[in-house]
Amino acid sequence: MDKLVIRGEQKLHGTIRAGGAKNAALPTMAASLLTAEEVTLRNVPDVRDIQTTRKLLEAMGVETEGSGGHHRIAMQARHVTHAQADYELVKTMRASTLVLGPLLARTGKATVSLPGGCAIGARPIDLHLKGLERLGANLRQEHGYVIAEAERLQGNTYSFDRITVTGTEDVLMAAVLARGETVLRNCALEPEVVDLAALLVKMGAKIEGAGTPVIRVQGVDQLGGATHTIIADRIEAGTYVMAALITGGEIEVTHCQPEHLEALLERLEEAGAKIRRSASSIGVARGERLRAVDISTAEFPGFATDLQAQYMALMTQAEGTAVITETIFENRFMHALELSRMGANIRIEGNRAVVRGPAPLTGAAVLASDLRASASLVLAGLAAEGETIIDRIYHLDRGYEKLEEKLRGAGAAVRRLGRLIPVANQHSAGIA
Ligand code: EPU
């Protein structure tokens, strides 16, 4: 299993390019199921979750073309031969459930494994299911799978009980092919939802209000092909901004959309960072001192939960006490324990983490528990004295493309260790 080895205390400098947003690419790939024509996406990040989604679509009969390195993928669902998302894939990536709405709308039947629990919280999909029921789907559950059926979905009103990103995307994708008008209320405002809607409109869908709490859809009989460029990954960009700050360095993150990161950038400015925004890049440098600033995670345009772990690592190096409140997921503090092993002073009180800084960090062997927790350990490693070895970085590979190369390009001492084979086994592995 790959590990990352980081020798800390190297200041970052130069530029880092942000890639396309994983969480925008996943629903837009699922949208290819809605049409028999070709959907081409550009700026698709070459990360594990995209490869998993591609496998998932191919298993359903979707023809795909394009190589990860070119960040372009063409998908054509001429015929959906297998309207099912199997447990084997869903268990590795919850976002697989995004195929439910489009499959049901296109073929009248979808069988999707329920995802089960997750490292960061329970994460049920009950609100996706309720929305599809409102559009006329008959649902039943068998052997861990949900089976949804509807001859033709029928437009209706539906208010989400709480804001859900993939829930909004899933039900929106079903509504575009439903008969008549659908009005969705309390929708997620995330840029990834807006990006999905932009693709759907290019495909011929009639959608108004994406990016506001109320989305109105006039259903159409069929959709066509389209070409679309995915928005920049705001979480990746924010991670690199904080990586520069934690090392006391100065970098420019290019090919990003600063307006999607305002909540983070404003808190960082309060903390003393110097931030320069341009249309598509963010320049960041540490001011004299880094001060502790409280944050509370919230849906967009609030402080993203996907940046909370990285922010916690940064606050271990700020002067004073920062209270970090997690409101979206009930168990998203796993990184706090690993950060503490590196010397951080963090107390967890329910959904609040109290971080006292600055605490000198020292390199240690640590374990990544989920994608963003892994990123927070990378940041801590960059600031720590000595060597940090991060295990289970397959989590990182799900959502960060070439992280170690990008950081190395900005002056960090990071390397990847491939699978280590004990000497005793090297002979049988043909290495000795
Ligand atoms: N929720 C329910 N019922 C539902 C759906 C959600 O109770 O049917 C709850 C969840 O348990 C959670 C809250 O509502 O407490 C919000 O969850 P949401 O549905 O918005 O999360 P998601 O759509 O499953 C996406 C991102 C996550 C990101 C969250 C929050 C994708 C593929 N995933 O997940 O990204 O943390 O929104 O912004 O878009 C990541 O990239 O590391 C990641 C976890």
| Torsion angle defined by CA atoms of residues 218, 222, 226 and 228, in that order, rounded to the nearest 10 degrees | 40
User: How far is C-alpha 422 from the chain's CA centre?
Assistant: 35
- Out of 23, 264, 332, 396, mutate this one to test ligand 1's pocket (max ligand atoms within 8 Å of CB): namely 23
The protein residue whose alpha carbon is closest to atom 6 in ligand 1 is: 164
pLDDT for residue 430: 32
Q: Does 118 participate in catalysis according to the annotation?
A: yes
Atom of ligand 1 nearest to the CA of 130: 8
**Mind listing the pLDDT tens digit for each residue in 253-306?**
999 999 999 999 999 999 999 999 999 999 999 988 999 999 999 999 999 999
Strand partners, 111: 84, 147
Q: Domains of the chain, with CATH numbers?
A: 3-19+232-425 (3.65.10.10), 22-229 (3.65.10.10)
**Is the CB of 343 inside a 6 Å radius of any atom of ligand 1?**
no
**Rounded to a whole number, what is the distance in angstroms from the first to the last CA of the chain?**
20
Atom of ligand 1 nearest to the CA of 126: 8
Judged against a pLDDT cut of 50, whether residue 421 lies above it is answered with no
Can you list the alpha helix ranges (DSSP code H) found in 248-351?
A: 262-270, 308-315, 334-341
**Is the CB of 162 inside a 6 Å radius of any atom of ligand 1?**
yes
Judged against a pLDDT cut of 80, whether residue 145 lies above it is answered with yes
As a whole number, mean pLDDT of residues 152-176 equals 98
**Is the CB of 1 inside a 6 Å radius of any atom of ligand 1?**
no
**Mind listing the pLDDT tens digit for each residue in 33-83?**
999 999 999 999 999 999 999 999 999 999 999 977 899 999 999 999 999
Amino acid identity of 183? V
The pLDDT confidence band at residue 419, using thresholds 50, 70 and 90, is low
Q: Which residues contact 187 (CB under 8 A, 6 or more apart)?
A: 160, 163, 168, 172, 193, 209, 210, 212, 213, 214, 215
**Is the CB of 126 inside a 6 Å radius of any atom of ligand 1?**
yes
Is residue 277 helix, strand or coil? Answer: strand
Amino acid identity of 391? D
The protein residue whose alpha carbon is closest to atom 43 in ligand 1 is: 306
Strand partners, 143: none
**Is the CB of 371 inside a 6 Å radius of any atom of ligand 1?**
yes
- What is the distance between the alpha carbons of residues 284 and 289, in angstroms, rounded to a whole number? 14
**Is the CB of 309 inside a 6 Å radius of any atom of ligand 1?**
no
Judged against a pLDDT cut of 70, whether residue 328 lies above it is answered with yes
Catalytic residue among 89, 118, 194, 365: 118
- What is the phi/psi pair of residue 177, to 5°? -105, 5
- What is the distance between the alpha carbons of residues 74 and 78, in angstroms, rounded to a whole number? 13
pLDDT for residue 115: 86
Atom of ligand 1 nearest to the CA of 304: 38
As a whole number, mean pLDDT of residues 82-109 equals 94
Q: Which residues contact 11 (CB under 8 A, 6 or more apart)?
A: 247, 248, 249, 250, 411
